[in-house]
Structures are given as structure tokens and as C-alpha cells.
Structure 1
Amino acid sequence: MALNDITTAAPAASLFRVACSSCNLRELCLPVDLSDAEMHRLELLSHRKRNYASGDYLYRSGDSFKSLYAIRSGSFKTRILHEDGREQVTGFVMPGEIIGLEAISTDIHTCEAVAMETGEVCELPFSKLEELGREIPSLQRHLHKIMSREIVRDQGIMLLLGSMRAEERLAAFLLNLSQRNAAHGMSSTQLTLRMSRLDIGSYLGLKLETVSRAFSRFQDDGLIRVKARSIEILALPRLREMMGKT
């Protein structure tokens, strides 16, 4: 489960270099078996580091596809705007994850990516990344794994929206965040929701009132403790049981 205005807003002007080899997210967004020489070549490719503030656009629907982006810090949401003005959230992207993959097949971004908080992004020009991948098989394999993971997440969304009750959808969402936190070396039970409950509802296919009731029920049942946007999971095994996981 992935739990991915006409002009692009300019990101913050600060551009600065942080070496991939010393980045604390290296093992999340890059193959771990690159040689020093191969890592240096990747550093040269990903030299553009940009800062984004909450509400800034990384790209917009209809923009030409030129790069993938590795999230160093902060978080983004992807969304589609319908003709009637309704917003459909399609995903949330956390540090160490890659964003922009949906545009590879068409060379056009079909959704827009918006920063949910202050963050930093590494830009990876795709044509150069492809060229480097042909020369470094481990990098190409890693890109294929990332793409495969996104396909699996999309399948999870279809299952989520097609067959689960509201409480099951929220449980799946919280478990997904828990797993991703753990992958980032953070607590699997202490979560900070950077997205609003309205965004969660849009993503899960639920009304805001339904999301709020589900959170309240989970808290009343002793599954979670809620304090503003901080969520403490008190009964991780019970959440897993709701999803048929042990």
C-alpha cells in the first residue's frame, strides 16, 4: 500500500551540496553495494539539493518529466485535481523515498507533488540516471526494485479502497506508516502525522467525519493515543490482527 495551478512554484533559493556517501539516507534510497568510484559518479549526478517550504510544489500535473527526486527530509503528498475542483490525494512520500516515478511511461507528470512541511530534496536527472544505470548494473537493479515496489503499493491501494471497512482502512494506513518509520530507523509506535485528517480521508476514500470517528474509536478501544498530530500505537498486534496479520 502506498501509504503515490499551472506554473511550478519556485523552491527556496538555497542550493547546496551534500555528498551521497555521507548522507544518512544512503541505505534507503541508494544501492548499498556501490564502490567508492561509482558513488562518486552518482554524487556528481545528484548535485542539485533544494529546500522546500510547506505548500511548495515539487512539480505539477502536466509538467514535463525530467527528474526523479529523493526526499532527504520533510514529506510530500501527491494529488490529482479533478475538473470540478475536488482534490484526490494519491500518496504520501517520506524521507529516503523516491518521488516522480509515475511520469516515466508518459514523460508527463500526471499528478502534483506538494510539500507538507519544510524539507530537502535531491534531484536526479532521469536521462543521466538511466545512462549511469546501464554502466552500473546494481544501480539499475535498484531502480527496478523501486519501480516494482510502487506497483505493489498501487495494488495495495486498489485492495484498500475496494474491500475494506473504514476501521480496516485506517488500521492499514497506520500500519503502513509504522513500517515505513521502522525502515527509516525511527519508532514503529510513535508516529507524527504530517498530513491532515482531510488528506487521510481523501487518500483512504473516506469522509472527514468517518476518519475522525475511526480515530476516536481506536483511542476508546485502547489501540492508539492521540495528541494533536502525534499518534502513539498502544496495541500494534491488535492492529495487525484487524488486517489478518500476525
Structure 2
Amino acid sequence: MPEIHPLHVHYMKAACSNCSVLELCLPIGMSSLEVERLDTLIVQRFKVKKGTALYRTGDPLRSLYAVRIGSFKTSVLSVDGREQVTGFHIPGEMLGLDAISADQHACNAFALEDSEVCPIPFAQLEKLAQNLPSLQHNLNRLLSREIVRDHSMLMLMGNMNSDERLAAFLLNLSQRFSIRGYSAKDFVLKMRREEIGSYLGLRLETICRGIAHLRDQGLVEVAGRDVKIQNLEGLKQLVAGCNRSVR
């Protein structure tokens, strides 16, 4: 478990079978008996205060972390010491997969708000997966999803202009919130605009201009961190138009 200031951590009993994001997380598709076996690995979940590191670059791999409540950003430091945001993670998603290949974390993970995670000791998880094909399948699925996200990010950076990148980012969040039963059109950004810019490879002023452009097109209204998608189909068409242009 990462070293976190004790004032910033609160421990609670955990059970996958009682979790509100069960159908989005590692146990997806597993039987009740299989979930109970997975339950034995998650002794306790814990809260991580806003701005606190869940783990840092170079920390040894001990656990994977299922986000239960809240959100996180992952990031690395560039050669000149600047932060490069590599992803944003919300409930039902897994943190720590970056550490599997080298047994140590390749990025930092910080809570964007007061959050809660379920730590799953990786060594024990690997052993259990050897006896549960459904669990091994889900681990493979999670790793595959990370690869797909990386490919999507490369496409985002290489083929889209700034407005299209921002539109794709908002549409992606919309879809992820919708899967979790939240509104696809009204949501709150937990990350700062500078962090969005870092993730999309855009300057802060470009992000601000992009928000204005999307508003002028009647697609999205952003007030502070509150997002209201006014034309979801139009937003999809803007992103799809870019995809067609590069085929």
C-alpha cells in the first residue's frame, strides 16, 4: 500500500458483492461464488483526500486499485519537470495497471476530489486468476482496454484539431458517465482546465477558445466546471467527421 499521511486515509470493510460499481469493475461477468473468492483479497477499502497521491512513479507494485467513489488523474513528469497528464479515472475503473510490466509504477496517481478505492493485492490476484478463468479473462480485458485507450489518445493527438480534441474529450466523459447511470448531458469536471490541456496537448488559452467555439456552435455550454451538452448528436458528428477524414 502506498505511503499516505494517516490523516488522509480512512479504512472501511469492503465487499465486491455489495459494491455499487460491481458491474463496471473487475468482477464483471463473474458468478456470485467467484465474486466471494475475490472478496477475500480486498480486506479493506480506503479513502484518499483530494490532492493526495495514491502512488507515485517508482513505487513498487503492491496492489491494483478499483475506483469506487471519486476520480483520479495519472501523470508523469517531463524532462523539464512539467507535469504531463496521461489519464483521468472515474468509478468502476482500475488504477495501477501501469506497474505490471516492471513491478513498479510508471506514473503518479492523484485524487482529483475526496475519493475511495478498493486495493487488490496483485500477487494474490495473480494466484487467484490461475484458478478462475473468468477473473483471468477480466484482467486481460482491462489490459486490452488500456491499450485501446492509448491508441485512441494517439489518434486524438495526431489527427484532430484543437476543437475536435476537446469535443472528443467531452464526448468520452459523457459516455463514461452514462454507462454509470449518470446524465450524459450534465456533469461536473473534476479536473482543472490546465489539466485538460495537458492531457490533450493544448495550451490553456486554446482550451478556453475551444470551449467558446463549441458554445458558439450550440454544442456545449461550460460554466466554471459545470458542463451542459446541448447537442449530443452534433458533438458526435464533429468527432465522427474527423474520423472519416483520416480514413
Q: Which interval holds the TM-score relative to the shorter structure? A: over 0.9
* Superposition pairs of residues 67-216 of structure 1, within 5 angstroms: 67-216=63-212
> Is this contact kept in 1: 2:23–2:29, CA < 8 A?
no
How big is the shift at 1:77? Answer: 0.2
Distance in 1 of aligned mates of 2:29 and 2:235: 36
* Counterpart Cα distance in 2 of 1:147 and 1:73: 22
- The alpha-carbon distance between structure 1 residues 33 and 207, as it changes in their structure 2 partners (threshold 3 A), is closer
2:13 matched residue in structure 1: 17
Amino acid at match of 2:224: A
How big is the shift at 1:33? 3.6
Deviations 1:105-145 (A, max 9, x none): 11111110000000100000111111111111111101111
Paired amino acid for 1:79: S
- 1:122 and 1:31 map into 2 onto residues whose CA distance is 12
Asked if the contact 2:28/2:138 (under 8 Å) is kept, the reply is no
Q: CA deviation at 1:14?
A: 1.7
Asked if the contact 2:78–2:84 (Cα under 8 Å) also holds between the matched residues in 1, the reply is yes
Displacement of 1:8: 4.3
Q: Give the direction of change, closer, same or farther, for the CA distance of 1:161–1:8 in structure 2 (3 Å limit).
A: farther
Percent identity (aligned): 48
* Cα drift, residue 147 of structure 1: 0.7
Alignment check: 8 A CA contact 2:27 2:35 kept: no
Q: Which has the higher contact order (CA 8 A, sep 6+)?
A: 1
Q: Are the counterparts in 2 of residues 189 and 232 from structure 1 also a CA contact under 8 Å?
A: yes
Q: Which moved more, 1:149-158 or 1:28-37?
A: 28-37
Taking structure 1 as the reference length, the TM-score comes to: 0.93
RMSD: 1.5
Q: Using the alignment, how far apart are the partners of 2:29 and 2:240 within structure 1?
A: 36
Shift of 1:102: 1.0
Matching residue's letter, 1:66: R
Tell me how far apart the structure 2 counterparts of residues 213 and 229 of structure 1 sit (CA, whole Å).
15
**Residues 66, 126 of structure 1: 8 Å contact kept:** yes
CA contact under 8 A between 1:160 and 1:169: conserved in structure 2?
yes
Letter in 2 for 1:9: I
Is the contact made by 1:8 and 1:60 (CA closer than 8 Å) also made in structure 2? no
Q: TM-score, normalised by structure 2?
A: 0.93
SS for the counterpart of 2:113 is: coil
Q: Within 1, Cα distance between the matches of 2:158 and 2:29?
A: 39
8 Å CA contact retained: 1:116, 1:194? yes
Question: Residue 70 of structure 2 contacts residue 90 of structure 2 at CA under 8 Å; is this kept in 1?
Answer: yes
Unaligned runs of 5+ in 2: none
